[in-house]
Amino acid sequence: MAAKKTYSPLSPLAVYNLVSAGGWGYILYCVVAIYPLLGQPLFYESTKDIVTLVQCGAIMEIVNSLLGIVRSPIVTTVAQVLSRLLIVVGIFQWLPETPACGSVAYVTLLSAWSVTEVVRYLFYFFTLAFESGPPYILVLLRYNLFWVLYPTGVASELTLVYSSLAVAETKYSVYAKWGLVFTMLTYLPGLPMLFMHMVAQRRKVMKGLRAERAKKD
């Protein structure tokens, strides 16, 4: 979460980002090292709770945005966090028997989420704690990986939600099912809004990087 000034590396905001990067780094490790050993559905059953815990930490991003502690737009922040909470709480915890959770869709979801978040939180940590800002390679990753990771993550999320519809109706009610359908429909305006936000941010950052390199040359 980018802020307007440089903080101490030990400040609560900087530590939050570093700890969050570590949490998602552990999930990425699980994808790379644990999934090949366990396979599905054991991988899902052994990791869904830690994924839920790590993702719920992002609620602080909504709080920080509301309080003006960070400059993140409140609308995009709320949309991103709530869509994730729908998955980790609404499906992993309330509908854990959802068929697609035991498939490759869960693995692609964690892959996209964890790589995105490790890069994002490290980017914010360096932005907050060091006047020099994040390393050049981290900036490139932050503003280029989304071309692949964002569609992968969204496709995986929608696959899981769609797979949960019958389970939600059977376990709870038809209203729960249609609530999930409504949530899927919100992706129609939400997806282009969030994606174009990143495209606009990338254009601005890449322009600044090119200007800096031109000055050095």
Closest CA to 183 of 96, 89, 118, 74: 89
Question: Which residue among the candidates 150, 162, 169, 187 is catalytic per the annotation?
Answer: 150
Assess whether 157 carries a catalytic annotation. yes
Q: Which long-range contacts (CB under 8 A, 24 or more apart) does 148-156 make?
A: 149/112, 149/115, 149/116, 150/112, 150/116, 150/194, 150/195, 150/198, 152/108, 152/111, 152/112, 153/109, 153/112, 153/113, 153/116, 154/187, 154/191, 155/108, 156/105, 156/106, 156/108, 156/109, 156/112
Question: Which residue among the candidates 35, 124, 143, 157 is catalytic per the annotation?
Answer: 157
Under 8 Å between Cβ of 119 and 25: no
> Cα-atom radius of gyration of the chain, to the nearest Å?
18
Assess whether 29 carries a catalytic annotation. no
Q: What residues act catalytically? A: 150, 157
